[in-house]
Amino acid sequence: MPQNTASVIPSRHVASYYAASAHASPEHPALQGATTADVCVVGGGFTGISSALHLAEKGFKVIVLEATRVGFGASGRNGGQIVNSYSRDMDVIEAKYGETSARALGSMAFEGNRIIRERVATYAIDCDLKDGNLFAACTDKQMNGLIEHKALWERYGNRELELLEGDDYRREIGSQRYVGALLDHSGGHLHPLNLVLGEAAAFASLGGVIHEQSPVTGITHGDTVRVSTSRGEVRAKHVIVAGNAYLKGLLPELEGKSMPCGTQVVATAPLDEALARELLPNDRCVEDCNYLLDYYRLSADRRLIYGGGVTYGGRDPASIEAVIRPNLETTFPQLAGVGIDYAWSGNFLLTLNRLPQFGRINHNVFYAQGYSGHGVTCTHLAGRLMAEALSGQFERFDAFAGLPHTAFPGGRLFRVPLTALGAWYYRMRDQLGW
Ligand SMILES: Cc1cc2nc3c(=O)[nH]c(=O)nc-3n(C[C@H](O)[C@H](O)[C@H](O)COP(=O)(O)OP(=O)(O)OC[C@H]3O[C@@H](n4cnc5c(N)ncnc54)[C@H](O)[C@@H]3O)c2cc1C
């Protein structure tokens, strides 16, 4: 039985703008002793809580075990951008995995965003939800890519897209850095920690049980699965493993097929209203089209939340501000010298084909992970598909589970330097406009 190192697990959310502005939420007691459930969920991020909430709505008895606090991982610290579809575009999915897979994945590509909006409305979750996200092109080549991207997404049913060619993008972004943009009116942005805390509260209101400070140290397979922590055990008919980049080897079957990566974010001091409106006049969020992309938006109290930088293997850089500030000031020279109130990082899980990995070990241990940097919407879809599968409807879950989970070249030792080398090549390509 693989062991996790519980002693090094922190007990609180990382210091971030989100932790500082989170709504009050109850602390859930650690698991003590033995108990039973229909479903035990490992991990209290969007994947775990979304699955738990969908299952509780269907009447399952669900227990969530979270190593730290709900929203401790990427879900409580991300850019908050609601970006539709997957980290791999539909044309690549069509070419690599054929028409049947592409049709199935395409039909679900915009569902996660709708689930989030339903959750927010049904459970009155206060998470600063705003409409519209932009993809900004830094080069003509990237702009041509956005034109193709629009046509492709329209084929799969997203018609809420608007191309902003030439200087038209300036009505949305107060930066000279781009040559155009694509606006997805059905995307948006939100306070991710308040979303996951709100969803956890909704789950608890339906009788769901959460144990925080309860790192799972082992999973013993069988018709009844035993999920162990240092102080207790849950016996369940089904288990959902939702630890993503923070799982650290709990399921050896998943090792080597994905790679944790760090990305860094800063939040400026609050900007005055006129300056905030100059940067993002209609309060959309933006990501650029570079391989190592910058992403930014305004918070409800008018801070610029700006992310970028990737570290392969998930290690933090010595200074997050030193990584992010130069890009922030290139995008918005009007912010030269702006105060940075918060700087933090988090880990996402990269897969080789940039598609999420859904699957089953034996017949009753399910997992979903590896959203490759775009997980806000797909984690919510994952939750619904888990609940469908555990109710006996496997078709949509299996459309993902049937995709290959390819190991990273180089194995555990060399996958980090090899991937960094690949990223360096793509970065050069973006900078030189190849
Ligand atoms: C800085 C950053 C910015 C991002 N920005 C965006 C964005 O703007 N838009 C977007 O779409 N995506 C973004 N992403 C990606 C997105 O946040 C993730 O894909 C998504 O949140 C993954 O959710 P998850 O629930 O699968 O994993 P996580 O949120 O990481 O949750 C996993 C949880 O499992 C727990 N856990 C792990 N092991 C155990 C164990 N043994 N026992 C118990 N619990 C365990 C962890 O403590 C953690 O709380 C970003 C990611 C990062 C890091």
pLDDT 10s per residue in the chain (434 long)? 333 333 456 779 999 999 999 999 999 999 999 999 999 999 999 999 999 999 999 999 999 999 999 999 999 999 999 999 998 888 889 999 999 999 999 999 999 999 999 999 999 999 999 999 999 999 999 999 999 999 999 999 999 999 999 999 999 999 999 999 999 999 999 999 999 999 999 999 999 999 999 999 999 999 999 999 999 999 999 999 999 999 998 999 988 888 899 999 999 999 999 999 999 999 999 999 998 899 999 999 999 999 997 887 657 888 999 999 999 999 999 999 999 999 999 999 999 899 999 999 999 999 999 999 999 999 999 999 999 999 999 999 999 999 998 887 666 655 555 555 555 545 555 555 55
Is 50 a pocket residue for ligand 1 (Cβ < 6 Å)?
no
| Contact present, 280 and 132 (Cβ < 8 Å) | no
For 245, list phi and psi in degrees, rounded to 5: -70, -10
| Nearest CA owner, ligand 1 atom 52 | 78
Is 260 a pocket residue for ligand 1 (Cβ < 6 Å)?
no
Cite the residue boundaries of each domain of the chain with CATH code 3.50.50.60: 6-78+193-256+353-403
Helices 192-205 and 46-57 sit at what angle, rounded to 10 degrees?
30
Q: How far is the CA of 168 from the centre of ligand 1 (A)?
A: 35
Is 186 a pocket residue for ligand 1 (Cβ < 6 Å)?
no
> 1.10.3720.10, 3.40.640.10, 3.40.50.720, 3.50.50.60: which CATH number matches 6-78+193-256+353-403?
3.50.50.60
The CA–CA distances, whole Å, from 14 to 9, 181, 200 equal 12, 33, 18
Is 246 a pocket residue for ligand 1 (Cβ < 6 Å)?
yes
If phi > 0 it is left, if psi is from -120 to 50 it is alpha, else beta; for residue 75 that is alpha
Q: Which residues pair with 304 in a beta bridge?
A: 298
For 327, list phi and psi in degrees, rounded to 5: -70, -40
Is 200 a pocket residue for ligand 1 (Cβ < 6 Å)?
no
Biggest CA pair distance of the chain: 63
Cite the residue boundaries of each domain of the chain with CATH code 3.30.9.10: 130-188+259-350
Rounded Cα distance between 215 and 7, Å, is 10
Q: Domain spanning 130-188+259-350 has what CATH number? A: 3.30.9.10
Is 311 a pocket residue for ligand 1 (Cβ < 6 Å)?
no
Which ligand 1 atom is the nearest neighbour of the CA of 346?
53
Is 216 a pocket residue for ligand 1 (Cβ < 6 Å)?
yes
Rounded Cα distance between 294 and 92, Å, is 23
